[in-house]
Structure 1
Amino acid sequence: MVITRESSDGDIYDTSESEDLCKGVKQLSENGLHRVPSKFILPVSDRPDTNVEDQNVVTSNLIQLPIIDFAELLGPNRPQVLHSLSHACEQYGFFQLVNHGIPDDVVRRMMDVCRRFFDLPYEERARYMTTDVEAPVRYGTSYSPTRDTVFCWRDFLKLLCHPLPDFLPHWPSSPLDFQKEAATYAERTRYLFLTLVGAILESLGLGIEGPNKDEREQEEVEDILKGFQDGSQMIVANYYPPCPEPELTLGIPPHSDYGFLSLLIQGEVEGLQIQHQAQWVTVRPVPNTFVVNLGDHLEIFSNGKYKSVLHRALVNAANSRISVVSLHSLPFTHTVRPSSKLVSEKNPKLYKDTSFGDFIEYLSTKEPKGKEFLDSRKLS
């Protein structure tokens, strides 16, 4: 069936066969679209508040995220950095990580090889298209093209990463250096996550050692740290082509991340927005830094002290954009629950125990929106 749409000047025009829409926005963009197909147009209330006078500008409402110096976190100033980390997690749910120790060329080569993957002919990319959300490799456009009401203006490549030897053989073999560069990046970001999440637990008062730590608390901390060692890691590369009408759609709609922590590199083009103090604000890309955000699992584990935060991706009319995010959490079979130390008579348990299976079951019945899954886990 051909989809038609009425333009602002009253003309009726064809957009594409519905099957073609599922091939992804890069394919549509390369066909020379001058207008956004109907399937990508958001309801008026959900559209981004972009400056339609100049569609090459995302927004002037920029935010300076808290800066966490990873090198300082590992040195004698750790107590002060832990305090800053706690503030960032409570007040923002996001921070910029500098001096993270991953060489610039590792990051640059990862961005480059992902761009070259998206530049492959459609037939090569399509080999990895699947509706199986648990597949070791998945290429696509919207999360569920057969069910989503509105599609996202992005294509994605998802890679399951841990244990690396189990998944690496399934990753794309083209470009020829893809597996090598992506594996190096996965290993380096995994080490960074394990060090960083230990500091976040400590900022919650859950360090593995301490004068007032009882045996039960120490066992709980050791258990979750072991869980992270065996935990899940997924890398998602996102490609956002230029959009002829960026005021009508989004690269990714508002959502929070499922998991504990996400480590993002977003290139030089603005596009990431977070919700802060009830407003959408743009995170300016900073060279050689990671944007780190808290996931739903960490909000549950901290019993609401630290919050996962809604964020979204804008698109623009002039430039393509690539971002790469490494998402980390406990193993898929692990149950996540509020830490016993953070639950008391004055601060009762706020969330149900949950697991990855609960998340998959939720997605099988509903189109994910905002923080609806996390809300479904709340006890009140």
Structure 2
Amino acid sequence: MSLVAAPMAIVDLANSADQLQQAMEVEEEAKAEQQQQELGAGEQELSYSILMKGVRHLSDSGITRLPDRYVLPAPDRPGAGLATTTSTSRVKLPVVDLSRLRDPSQRAAVLQTLDAACRGYGFFQVVNHGVDGAVIAGMLDVARRFFELPLPERARYMSPDVRAAVRYGTSFNQAKDAVLCWRDFLKLACHPLRDVVASWPREPAGLRDVASGYAAASHGLFMELMEAALQALGIAAAAADGGVLGELAAGSSHMMTVNCYPACPQPELTLGMPAHSDYGLFTFVLQDHVEGLQVMHGGRWLTVDPIPGSFVVNVGDHLEIYSNGAYKSVLHRVRVNSTRPRISVASFHSLPAERVVGPAPELVDEAAGKPRRYMDTDFATFLAYLASADGKDKTFLQSRMLLHGAASSSSSIHTYHAHI
């Protein structure tokens, strides 16, 4: 009987194996179909929940086609329009050497360079700043490792609250942006530093110590450059004299945004960050060796040649207003590429959020032909503007201008607030 049962058992096992194989194939086909739908293959649009996981998640999943939500209208794409760029459209920004600025015998010459850069470019690079190379390398390292964390670990810090001390997200405002940009970010409030560090992510290892050390160094450089800029503008700059520098010494706003721009399957259709200006006094940008930052100058988009170990610094809306239009808060954007991820760390420095900012009294003289060019503004006014304006072409700085005929070079700014 066992001799008869054995072949029967073999047949049963074979049938079971066939059934199992068929079930596995069906299951794999279902998984493949689901993955195809999630990854946006063909004409499929990614589901909202997948999009909200960010571009690092999309890039890691191996997509080969850009999801529709990331495709810019043709006129807004990187190579469109007259203000376009080519691989050779590059710029070496003016260089401010802080070692020379600290030398009394050379300070005047460096102040002239700083003044010309703020008036003509709105951007410059800072070298010989004295920030330890280990601090810079450490910041880029923990930034990179944060975005390498598993998604659930990063997602713990997702928040719709733009005022949250810690906020992980994607695009600018993924809940409202009509077209998403190819960027994930970690926002860290940095003031007062001793009070906010405990709310920062514990992982990756060392993030709190490294990022707080970097934030302190960035703030120190900001205070030094702000003093120099005020001196170049002819405004009493010593903290002991009071004025804006004294206010900054007593209290300020400081926010740091760590940006990740993963490799993009179709970089010609999207941007890491669209054209925008920064809301504040000065922004300090630390970037790795992968280029991507572009500045609008002379009607063209120019790719910034990064100097290793330097900081790229740009004038913000607050400084343009405070300088009564002498210094320019100009358009800049970020392009992405198909082969290499890019990491940058932007530190935004300004006066406290509740502080009203207007032109410096020293720079307004109606009788001398120096009329007031801007209305006063504060952060609440800016947030109200964001809430009321269309998501594209937010010209906040232009909305504060009193004399549009004598407009600054930023009158066409798309003011997407890089802080939030």
- Taking structure 1 as the reference length, the TM-score comes to 0.91
Uncovered stretches (5+) of structure 1, i.e. residues with no partner: 51-56, 210-217
> 2:242 matched to 1:222?
yes
Among 186, 201, 208, the alignment partner of 1:179 is: 208
CA contact (8 A) 2:111 2:228 kept: yes
Residue 201 of structure 1 aligns with which residue? 230
Q: Is residue 58–residue 316 contact of structure 1 (8 Å, CA) maintained in 2? A: no
Residues 235-265 of structure 1: CA deviation (Å, up to 9, x unaligned)? 1110000001000000000000000001111
> Residue in 2 aligned with 1:62?
90
Code of the residue aligned with 1:285 in structure 2: it is P
Deviation at 1:198, TM superposition (A): 0.4
AA partner of residue 336 (structure 1): V
Question: What aligned pairs does 1:21-100 form with structure 2 within 5 A after superposition?
Answer: 21-49=51-79, 59-75=87-103, 76-100=105-129
Higher strand proportion, which one?
Answer: 1
Aligned to 2:11: none
- The 1-side partners of 2:357 and 2:297 are apart by 26
**Deviation for aligned residue 1:101:** 0.7
The answer to whether 1:376 aligns with 2:399 is: yes
Residues 13-69 of structure 1, C-alpha deviations (whole Å, 9 max, x = no match): 32421121111000111111101001001010000019xxxxxx9722110110110
1:271 aligned to which of 282, 292, 308: 292
Q: Work out the CA distance in 1 between the residues paired with 2:321 and 2:160.
A: 28
Which residue matches 2:217? 188
Task: Report the residue type matching 2:210 in the other structure.
Answer: E
- The one-letter code matched in structure 1 to 2:359 is P
Shift of 1:369: 4.3
Q: Which has the higher helix share?
A: 2
Structure 1's 3 and 371: CA in aligned 2 closer, same or farther, altered over 3 A? farther
Q: d(CA) in 1 for partners of 2:247 and 2:277? A: 22
Find the aligned partners of 2:171 and 2:203 in 1 and give their Cα distance. Answer: 23
Separation in 2 of the partners of 1:369 and 1:379? 22
- Matched positions, count: 360
Distance in 2 of aligned mates of 1:63 and 1:196: 22
CA–CA distance in structure 1, aligned partners of residues 227 and 188 of structure 2: 24
Q: Secondary structure of 2:372's partner?
A: coil
- Partner of 1:157 in structure 2? 186
Instruction: Structure 2: state its 5+ residue gaps.
Output: 1-34, 404-420
Amino acid at match of 1:146: A
- Native 8 Å contact 1:242 1:315 kept in 2: yes
* Partner secondary structure for residue 205 of structure 1: coil
Return the alpha-carbon distance in structure 2 between the equivalents of residues 364 and 169 of structure 1. Answer: 31
1:14 and 1:101 mapped to 2: Cα distance? 51
Q: CA deviation at 1:114?
A: 0.7
Alignment of 1:1-380 (within 5 A): 12-49=42-79, 59-75=87-103, 76-208=105-237, 222-229=242-249, 230-345=251-366, 346-367=369-390, 369=392, 372-380=395-403
Q: Are the equivalent residues in 2 in contact too, given 1:3–1:17 (CA < 8 A)? A: no
Aligned residue for 1:312, secondary structure, equals strand
Q: State the shift of 1:362 in Å.
A: 1.6
Q: CA deviation at 1:364?
A: 2.2
SS in structure 2 opposite 1:237? Answer: strand
Q: Give the counterpart letter for 1:163 in structure 2.
A: P
On the 8 A contact 2:386/2:394 being kept in 1, the answer is no
Opposite residue 258 of structure 1, the aligned amino acid is Y
* Structure 1 position 367, deviation (Å): 4.6
Moved >2 Å (runs of 4+)? 364-371
Q: Give the CA deviation at 1:3.
A: 11
**CA–CA separation in structure 2 for the residues paired with 1:122 and 1:135:** 20
Over aligned residues, Cα RMSD in angstroms?
Answer: 2.1
Q: In structure 2, what residue type is equivalent to 1:180?
A: D
Post-superposition shift, 1:201?
A: 0.5
Following superposition, the deviation at residue 371 of structure 1 comes to: 6.0
- Counting aligned pairs with the same residue, the percent is 47
Alignment correspondent of 2:4: none
Q: Is the 8 A contact 1:58 1:314 kept in 2?
A: no
* Matched residue SS, 2:64: coil
